[in-house]
Structures are given as C-alpha cells and as structure tokens.
C-alpha cells in the first residue's frame, strides 16, 4: 500500500550539520595562536631587534637660549629666563651694574625698536681697527707680546675670575648710554667692578694723576679705550661721541674676552707699575 501523500510545506525541516564550521574556526584560531607565539617568544639563539635609541639627555635638558637680547624685557623684568641668563653671565665676569648685557657674537641686541646683530658691530669694530692700524697685536710686531701677558711675577698674581662662559666663546659687555653719561666714567665703573671681583678695591680717585704722573689705573683706563667702542643703534654705525643723545640710542661695547686675557695675569700689588706708551700696555714682571 503506497505511503500517504504529504504536502511539501508540512514536511519537518532538515538541519545541516554544524561541526565542520566549528572545526574550521578552531583550526584558524590555533593557527593564529601558534603564529603569535612563534613571532614573539624569545627562542634561544634568536636575534631580537634592539630598542629604539633614546634621545640624548642634553637635547631634552638644555633650554634653548634666545638669539635676541631685548633690553626692554631686561628693564621691566617681563622675561625672567632672559634676566636670569644675563645675570649669570654678568656674575661670572664679576660685573653687576657697569654693563646691561653680556652678549655672544651670534646673538643680537634690541634697544627700543632697533635690533642689531652683535656680529655686525664686531665686524664694524674690526674694520675700523684695520683702517686705523690698531688691530689686535701680534707677538712679532707689538709691544705687548703673548709672553708678557702670561709671564709670572715673583709674587703670585691675584686670580682672574673663574668663569665657565669665557672658556667656550667670546663675550662682549653692552652698556646702554643714558643722558648725562660720559665715556670716562663708564670705563672707570666697568674696571672698578672687574677688579673688585678679583679682590682689588679701587677708590674713586685712583685714576687721578699723582705728583704730575698718571697712575696705573689711569694708564689701564687709557688702554681700555682701545677695547671699548660706541655704536649708534639708529645709524648702525660706530660713533665717537656720547653727547647729542636720544634715549637708548647708543651703546658702549666692551670686549670682555680680550680684556680678561690681558689683565688676567696682572699682579694687584703692581698696578701702579703698569706702563702705557699710547699704543701698547706693558705689564710689570
């Protein structure tokens, strides 16, 4: 007897077997896990890539120094980092009030609205010295020779300022001229601070002649004029006069590095024996 007819929509559903799909997923998982272990496990004898180098500590710890020394910010104290840097430089040279800034040749100075690279001022000074025939003395043709500057006297000289800045670069002191200033007083105040740092106290009359003869301080002041220059910030040229000033128009520039090299070996007890012939300074033996 034939089977009774069953309509298609009334047949029970047939379910596909799911275990092949589960097996495939399991195999994929096992493959990925083994690959991860192979890649990252430190197998014996296997070379590992070195870690990336860390940046040098000096790059991270050394603050960038400003390329422009702004006198206005030093005056009003608006830039504390700049003020601390200049104060540190001045202290290392034994200076306080006789200069407003201590600057390197690669830096610029800003007075009011005028900004001038110090290298431009230094170049103008060298050009003027070459024209006047008063360039830095050479050991073979000038009165002050290298051995004269470093020769030891019978009594040990007072120690020159021990600085860190003077060992690596040339430095210049910059004084902003105020109305009523005169160049002689600017020179004298500068040298008085310089020698005070070395334990040598100079009276306010030490530069005055005695018995018709100039003193050692007076001779040093005369020689220091060859290392001090006046620069006009507006005309961008060297000047010779301090009068007819506008506020913050001119600056006096001191060659601190050269001065320290010449006077560093001077014996405090023999200052009055210093000789100056109008061109060269001669230190006592």
Look at the pTM and tell me if it is higher than 0.85.
no
Short-list 205, 178, 202, CA closest to 190:
202
State residue 69 phi and psi, 5-degree precision: -95, 105
**91: confidence class by pLDDT, cuts 50, 70, 90:** very high
Question: Per the structure, how many domains does the chain have?
Answer: 1
**Per-residue pLDDT at 57:** 56
Residue 37 within a domain: no
Whole-number average pLDDT of the chain: 76
Residue 184 within a domain: yes
Q: Does pLDDT of 99 surpass 90?
A: yes
What are 276's strand-pairing partners? 281
Could you give the C-alpha distances from 6 to 1, 2, 77, 124, in angstroms and in order? 15, 12, 102, 116
Residue 258: give the domain boundaries.
65-282
Residue 36 within a domain: no
Give the residue-averaged pLDDT of 261-277.
80
Residue 42 within a domain: no
Residue 51 within a domain: no
CB-count exposure of residue 191 (10 Å: 0-12, 13-18, 19+): buried
Q: Which of 147-151, 182-186, 241-245 has the lowest mean pLDDT?
A: 147-151
Residue 103 within a domain: yes
**Per-residue pLDDT at 163:** 45
Q: Which bin fits 54, alpha (ψ -120 to 50), beta or left (φ > 0)?
A: beta
Q: Which bin fits 43, alpha (ψ -120 to 50), beta or left (φ > 0)?
A: beta
Are 252 and 177 spatial neighbours (Cβ–Cβ below 8 Å)? Answer: yes
Tokens 């470093």 found at:
150
Give the residue-averaged pLDDT of 145-160.
39
Secondary element (H or E) of residue 172: strand 172-176
Query: Beta 68-70 vs 108-111: how paired, if at all?
Result: parallel
Residue 43 within a domain: no
Give the residue-averaged pLDDT of 169-180.
91
Q: Which residue has the higher pLDDT, 143 or 266?
A: 266
Tokens 């006069």 found at:
241
Residue 24 within a domain: no
């Amino acid at each position: 007897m034939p089977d009774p007819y069953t309509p298609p929509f009334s047949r029970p559903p047939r379910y596909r077997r799911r275990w092949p799909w589960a097996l495939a997923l399991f195999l994929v998982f096992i493959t990925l896990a083994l690959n991860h272990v192979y890649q990252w496990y430190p197998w014996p004898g296997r070379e590992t890539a070195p870690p990336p180098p860390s940046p040098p500590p000096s790059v991270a710890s050394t603050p960038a120094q400003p390329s422009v020394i702004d006198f206005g910010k030093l005056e009003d104290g608006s830039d504390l980092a700049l003020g601390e840097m200049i104060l540190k430089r001045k202290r290392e040279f034994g200076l306080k009030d006789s200069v407003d800034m201590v600057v390197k040749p690669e830096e610029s100075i800003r007075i009011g609205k005028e900004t001038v690279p110090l290298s431009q001022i230094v170049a103008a000074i060298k050009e003027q010295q070459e024209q006047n025939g008063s360039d830095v003395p050479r050991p073979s043709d000038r009165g002050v020779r290298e051995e004269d500057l470093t020769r030891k006297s019978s009594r040990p000289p007072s120690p020159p300022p021990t600085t860190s800045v003077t060992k690596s670069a040339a430095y210049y002191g910059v004084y902003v001229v105020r109305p009523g200033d005169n160049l002689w007083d600017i020179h004298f105040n500068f040298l008085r601070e310089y020698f005070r740092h070395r334990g040598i106290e100079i009276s306010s009359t030490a530069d005055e002649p005695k018995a018709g003869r100039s003193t050692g301080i007076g001779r040093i002041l005369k020689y220091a004029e060859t290392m001090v220059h006046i620069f006009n910030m507006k005309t961008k040229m060297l000047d010779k006069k301090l009068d007819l000033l506008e506020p913050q128009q001119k600056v006096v520039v001191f060659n601190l590095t050269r001065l320290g090299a010449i006077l560093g070996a001077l014996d405090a007890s023999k200052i009055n024996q210093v000789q100056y012939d109008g061109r060269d300074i001669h230190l006592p033996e």
